[in-house]
Structure 1
């Protein structure tokens, strides 16, 4: 992809924003700028040569940027766009990386200038660590990237965001409505995090448990190492979907519990066989 004519600004140089900066370098844009509240982070990023210049004040980079990538938490994404609406360059494409979409669209679109195009994005990539120190140029390699276009988005801008995702190494770009995104993500991402946290918080976890931990416990609880500032936002902004998924999970747990109480090995065998088959079908194309 030819990005040589584009000035790109990344807002927030944490894990995702820093990884964007690293991955975008190979697309050779005209400039990669960054906006962050931490002066030291900007200094380090510039020393690493993953950005051309860092800014504490958004006005200068925004007024000259063709593409703006917001890599901050959902509420901060909303606040940033609202607070800096007058600074964006006319015709700029704005995209985000947040794990929820409907709330953002509801808040941003009524105040968005007509000459700007906001296109929701969600890279399905990450790790337990946070901050620029954990960023990687390979963060998006073979990852899925979700784009949530809405009425009014220009087709060429939707394609631009998708092409950038592919250029950074994503193997698949998926297009969904914001509503479908939030529904699906509540099951594939948010519910697993809740289950992992609940498992760690069980009363069965006692002193010395670590001596009896194997692969199943490590795999199931990996995502319990969770960002306590970000995740309440994601869950509360997607409340209806996540409550529905929790209730569905509770129903399944109750059915298995009842089968154990009743010594119903036939039910248990069928449930486990069905789960094995379904998982193979789900992950075969991942």
Structure 2
């Protein structure tokens, strides 16, 4: 198939290379000519363009790998240039408002299906791309009643081709509820933990637990601030729930309540083991 990947950052370039390796013709679009040059030189794409309007009339799939608000803006600008039958998708970490807006914006005969590849790295940019980051990861498709079985099947096949371990289906609303906990809350905790440190000597005493827990604190500030705000209601609820559990530990310490601590530790161990299955 002929696929346009809009945005040649870490995820976009990784998906482009994975699609190219699976026999698709992949056009990469980016406003950064250096990103285009890198992707062409390293054979991550078939050909690069700086204006998505130049290739919309030839593509069967358009995959946005840009910030949600940027995707909306670009769609508003180019909506009349999408050809009938095109499947449009994205890779963003929020879905409820994004899917609704995109489905309203696109002309009849052009279908939007939200997708979320649950993979990434701390580094950003095409030079850090690698389609192997998808192997073993989760791939979420968020169809609505406006989507056809054909379009959903096409995107499921792409997920399989890219090597994702599990393909799941969620409504856009349920997706945002789940992601608020499994992704956004974990990033919020990592950021808060790192920023709470006031000791200049911490670096000399960190171990694996600190490094593993804070790895995701190295964060794309522009992107994640947008994602947090787009899903703020769900995320605030999850932060409140987390604070309740942290208060249980805090109060147990104040009361020298070892039994409560043991109960909390045993409960967390049991729940965490379920993720290994």
Q: 1:170 aligns with which of 164, 172, 184?
A: 164
Question: For residues 253 and 33 of structure 1, what CA distance do their matches in structure 2 show?
Answer: 48
Matched with 2:49 is 55
Matched with 1:240 is 233
Q: Is 1:284 equivalent to 2:271 in the alignment? A: no
Alignment of 1:1-286 (within 5 A): 6-29=1-24, 31-202=25-196, 204-281=197-274, 283-285=275-277
Question: For residues 49 and 223 of structure 1, what CA distance do their matches in structure 2 show?
Answer: 29
Dislocated runs of 4+, deviation >4 Å:
none
* Cα offsets for 1:180-237 (capped at 9, x unmatched): 00000000000010000111111x4311111111111111111100111101111000
* Cα offsets for 1:127-155 (capped at 9, x unmatched): 00000011002121111100000011110
What's the CA shift for 1:26?
2.1
What's the CA shift for 1:170?
0.7
**Structure with a larger share of its residues in helix:** 2
Question: For residues 46 and 20 of structure 2, what CA distance do their matches in structure 1 show?
Answer: 10
Whether the 8 Å CA contact 1:11–1:71 is kept in 2: the answer is: yes
Number of aligned residues? 277
SS at match of 1:128: coil
Tell me whether 237-246 or 210-219 shows the greater mean CA deviation: 210-219
Query: TM (normalized to structure 1)?
Result: 0.95
Question: For residues 156 and 39 of structure 1, what CA distance do their matches in structure 2 show?
Answer: 35
Unaligned runs of at least 5 residues, structure 2: none
SS at match of 1:147: strand
Question: For residues 137 and 123 of structure 1, what CA distance do their matches in structure 2 show?
Answer: 11
Whether the 8 Å CA contact 1:82–1:108 is kept in 2: the answer is: no
What's the CA shift for 1:82?
1.6
Whether the 8 Å CA contact 1:100–1:238 is kept in 2: the answer is: yes
SS at match of 2:4: strand
* Cα offsets for 1:84-109 (capped at 9, x unmatched): 10111211000100000011023222
Unaligned runs of at least 5 residues, structure 1: 1-5
What's the CA shift for 1:156?
1.0
Query: TM (normalized to structure 2)?
Result: 0.98
Question: For residues 7 and 54 of structure 1, what CA distance do their matches in structure 2 show?
Answer: 13
Question: For residues 253 and 160 of structure 2, what CA distance do their matches in structure 1 show?
Answer: 47
Question: For residues 264 and 146 of structure 1, what CA distance do their matches in structure 2 show?
Answer: 42
Whether the 8 Å CA contact 2:136–2:166 is kept in 1: the answer is: yes
When the two chains are superposed, the root-mean-square deviation of aligned CA atoms in Å is 1.0
